[in-house]
Structure 1
Amino acid sequence: MSDLLHSTLRSNSSTNIAGMSSGAQTPAVPYSRPTSPGAGGNPIQIGFVGIGAMGALMAKNLANYRATHVPGSPAILVWNRTASKCEALLNELGPSKIRIAQALEQVATECDMIITNLANDEVIKSVFQQLAETLKDAPPQRNKIFIETSTIYPTLAGELDLLISSIPHCRLITSPVFGTPLVAASAQLVIVMSGDYRSKKEAAHTLVPAVGRKVIDLGGNLEKAPTFKLIGNSMILGTLEIFAESYTLAEKSGIASAEVHNLVKELFPAPGLIRYSERMSQNYFDASTGFSIDGGIKDASHIRRLTAVHNAPMPSIDIAHQHLITARAIHNSRVQAGKPTVEVLDWSGIVAGTRVAAGLDGFESPAGVVEEE
Structure 2
Amino acid sequence: MSQIGFYGLGSMGTGMALNLQKHLQDTKQPNLRYSNRTLSKGDCLKAARGIEEPDYISLVKSCDIIFTMISNDKVLNELVESALSTGSISGKIFVDTSTVHPNTVARASEKLTKAGASFVASPVFGASAVAAAGKLIFAMAGPKDTTEKLKPLVLNVMGRSIIDLGEEVSKSSMLKIAGNVMVIGLMELISEVQVFAEKVGLGTATMEGMIADMFGPVAESYSKRLTTGAYAPPHGTAPGFAVSLAIKDAKHAISIANDHDMRLNVSEAALSHMLNARAYAGESLDSSSMYGTVRHESGLPFWTENSRQSS
Where 1:290 maps in the other structure, the secondary structure is coil
3-state SS in 1 of match to 2:140? strand
Question: 1:136-155 to 2 correspondence within 5 Å?
Answer: 138-140=87-89, 143-155=91-103
Q: CA deviation at 1:205?
A: 2.2
Preserved contact between residue 116 and residue 149 of structure 1 (Cα < 8 Å): yes
After superposition, what is the alpha-carbon deviation per residue over 1:41-87, rounded to whole angstroms, capped at 9, x for unaligned?
xx100110101111111111011011112x3x111110100010123
Aligned sequence identity (%):
29
- Residue of structure 2 equivalent to 1:280: 226
Q: Secondary structure at the match of 2:169?
A: coil
The 2-side partners of 1:111 and 1:79 are apart by 12
Given the alignment, which residue of 19, 37, 42 partners 1:86? 42
TM, length-normalised to structure 2: 0.93
Is the CA contact (8 Å cut-off) linking 1:182 and 1:289 kept in structure 2? Answer: no
- Equivalent residue pairs, number: 303
Q: Do the aligned residues in 2 keep the contact of 1:326 with 1:352 (CA within 8 Å)?
A: no
- 1:210 counterpart residue number: 157
Q: Aligned partner of 2:254: which letter?
A: R
Q: Which position in structure 2 is the counterpart of 1:177?
A: 124
Q: Is the 2:134–2:159 Cα contact (8 Å) retained in structure 1?
A: yes
Shift of residue 365, structure 1, vs aligned partner: 7.0
Alpha-carbon distance between aligned partners in 2 of 1:366 and 1:99, rounded to the nearest angstrom: 39
Task: Could you list the structure 1 runs, at least 4 aligned residues long, displaced by more than 4 angstroms after superposition.
Answer: none
How large is the Cα RMSD of the aligned pairs? 1.8
* Contact 1:154–1:226 (Cα < 8 Å) also in 2: yes
The counterpart of 1:107, out of the listed 37, 59, 65, is: 59
Larger RCO: 1 or 2 (CA < 8 Å, sep 6+): 1
**Residue 180 of structure 1 contacts residue 289 of structure 1 at CA under 8 Å; is this kept in 2?**
no
| Gap change, CA 1:140 and 1:251, over 3 Å in 2 | closer
Contact 2:80 2:108 in 1 (8 A): yes
* AA partner of residue 52 (structure 1): G
Matches within 5 A, 1:318-357: 318-332=268-282, 344-357=284-297
Distance 2:111 2:138 in 1: 24
Residue in 1 that maps onto 2:110: 162
Q: How far, CA to CA, are the matches of 1:118 and 1:251 in structure 2?
A: 37
- Taking structure 1 as the reference length, the TM-score comes to 0.78
Structure-2 residue corresponding to 1:77: 33
Q: Aligned partners of 2:275, 2:174: CA distance in 1, in Å?
A: 23
Give, in whole Å, the separation in 1 of the partners of 2:61 and 2:115. Answer: 12
Q: Give the secondary-structure state (helix, strand or coil) at the position aligned to 1:362.
A: coil
Change (3 A) 1:366 1:173: closer
Q: What runs of 5+ residues in structure 1 fail to find an aligned partner?
A: 1-42, 333-342, 368-373
Q: Quick one: which amino acid aligns to residue 283 of structure 1?
A: G
